[in-house]
Amino acid sequence: MVMRSILQAFEVRYSYPVHCTHRLFGLDNPILHELFAPSASLPKLWVVLDQAVAEHHPNLLTEIAAYAQASQAFSLVEPSLILAGGEAIKQTTEPLQAVYDGINRYAIDRHSYLMAIGGGALIDMVGYAAATAHRGVRLIRVPTTVLAQNDAAVGVKNSINAFGKKNFLGTFAPPYAVLNDSHFLTTLSERDWRSGIAEAIKVALLKDPAFFATIERTAAALRQRDLAVMEDQVFRCAELHLAHIAGGDPFERGSARPLDFGHWAAHKLEQLSNYSLRHGEAVAIGIALDCTYSYLNADLAEADWQRVLTCLTAVGFELYHPALSNQLELPEHPQSLLSGLAEFREHLGGQLTITLMRGIGQPYDVHTIDLPMMQQAIRYLAERA
């Protein structure tokens, strides 16, 4: 029997800017004007806006329209679509369908631009719509929370939830650009201001002990909402995330995902709390849990373990939630946090891979978890609370 085969191989290079600025839509800010590729006609720009952002910045859409008219850089498609943000936007298909409807109605093609302005959940959902409509329309992300600016919006992932699982449906599709405007951070609630700091602590623990020390030193300033300190933190956190994506496995074809340190528990905890916990709040608990496990496993020195817990609490995080202790003695129960290990393995594919700590800046991966020891770690956080 004769077999004839063709082996296809090619490479595609991706690049996109992440700009950090203040008052992006001010008429004297050139970033947006310089972003659009020259073309014979003005490209279309359609905006999907987080309702909370619209309420806190009631003149925003007027400012965008004024910018479009003054700069002549793009043709603003109106009306914009305003959607309630938060994790609920990823839980049903109605918001996704609303974006698809607009892309179709306003003929947003692959040479047009879709701008998502809002928190990480809205940007995840709009990114999924942008990546799948016409096999990909140009997406400009304008994240408006600390979490989105330093983590969720700077990478290449887009997603919605399904089957009761976080980010079950999704794509890897780089954005056209990410535009971080620190002015949006000034109107965040205390919870949303604090929530994103968990991702900065996470990436610092993984990759940059000096950055972790900076977060420790500036914890009080962060709690007091020092914008300059937050701008520096957002920039460094985004920089470390992007360096990891560029140098490793951007489309996550392997089983190891160090940037998901603390996330196996966080994702399950969000679900168990019916998403009453912010993602960053759940990540803070997940980091505390996995560092406590690392300490109990005699891998992480007590001094480093205490530094992590102290830093998390210094910026205002609670390190325990009652859902941690749900069905603790029944690891396979769907309401047990420990069942999140199996869900995490399924989401990654391949063998279970969990990142733990040997020291600040010294992560390592394991493929099995000692369940009694993890139960002990949970009990410790409960007692500490």
**252-271 confidence digits (pLDDT tens):** 666 567 778 999 999 999 99
Q: What is the pLDDT of residue 256?
A: 60
Strands 362-366 and 354-359: antiparallel
Radius of gyration of the chain (CA): 21
CB 198 within 8 A of CB 281: yes
Backbone φ and ψ for 81, nearest 5 degrees, come out as -100, 125
Q: Which long-range contacts (CB under 8 A, 24 or more apart) does 222-231 make?
A: 222/194, 222/197, 222/315, 223/194, 223/314, 223/315, 223/316, 225/193, 227/182, 227/185, 227/186, 230/146, 230/182, 230/185, 230/193, 231/20, 231/182
Closest CA to 295 of 308, 285, 283, 284: 308
193: left (phi over 0), alpha (psi -120 to 50) or beta: alpha
HSE value, Cβ hemisphere, 13 Å, CA-based, for 17: 10
pLDDT at 41: 84
pLDDT of residue 255: 53
Identify the CATH class of 18-187: alpha beta
pLDDT digits (tens, 9 = 90+) for 40-75: 789 999 999 999 999 999 999 999 999 999 999 999
How much is the pLDDT for 259? 79
Whether the pLDDT of residue 98 is over 70: the answer is: yes
CATH of 190-384, one of 1.10.645.10, 1.10.490.10, 1.20.1090.10, 3.40.50.1820: 1.20.1090.10
Calpha distance 158→190 (Å, rounded)? 26
Q: What is the mean pLDDT of residues 185-213?
A: 96
Section 81-108 average pLDDT: 96
pLDDT reported for residue 251:
72
pLDDT tens per residue across span 236-247: 999 999 998 887
The Cα–Cα gap between 352 and 289 comes to 17
Distance of alpha carbon 273 from alpha carbon 276, whole angstroms: 5
Enclosing H/E stretch for 138:
strand 138-143
How far is 93 from 110, CA to CA, in rounded Å?
23
Question: What contacts 1, CB < 8 A, 6 or more positions away?
Answer: none
Residue 38: its pLDDT value, please?
74
Stretch 279-304: mean pLDDT: 97
The pair of three-digit structure tokens given for residue 204, joined into one six-digit string: 């610092």
Q: What is the pLDDT of residue 164?
A: 83
- The pLDDT assigned to 247 comes to 74
Q: Residue 75 has what pLDDT?
A: 95
Boundaries of every domain in the chain? 18-187, 190-384
pLDDT digits (tens, 9 = 90+) for 304-353: 999 999 999 999 999 999 999 999 899 899 999 999 999 888 877 778 99
Q: pLDDT (tens digit, 9 = 90+) per residue, 2-14?
A: 899 999 998 888 8
Determine the pLDDT at residue 175: 97
Could you tell me the pLDDT band of residue 249, with boundaries at 50, 70 and 90?
Answer: low
Mean predicted lDDT score pLDDT of the chain: 94
**Cα-Cα-Cα-Cα dihedral of 107, 160, 91, 272, to 10°?**
-170
Which carries the bigger pLDDT value, residue 92 or residue 351?
92
Dist CA 143 CA 21 (whole Å):
12
Residue of 37 and 358 predicted with greater confidence: 358
- Helix-, strand-, coil-residue percentages of the chain, each rounded to 5: 50, 15, 35
Judging by DSSP bridges, how do beta strands 138-143 and 177-181 pair with one another? Answer: parallel
Predicted local distance difference test score (pLDDT) of residue 191 = 95
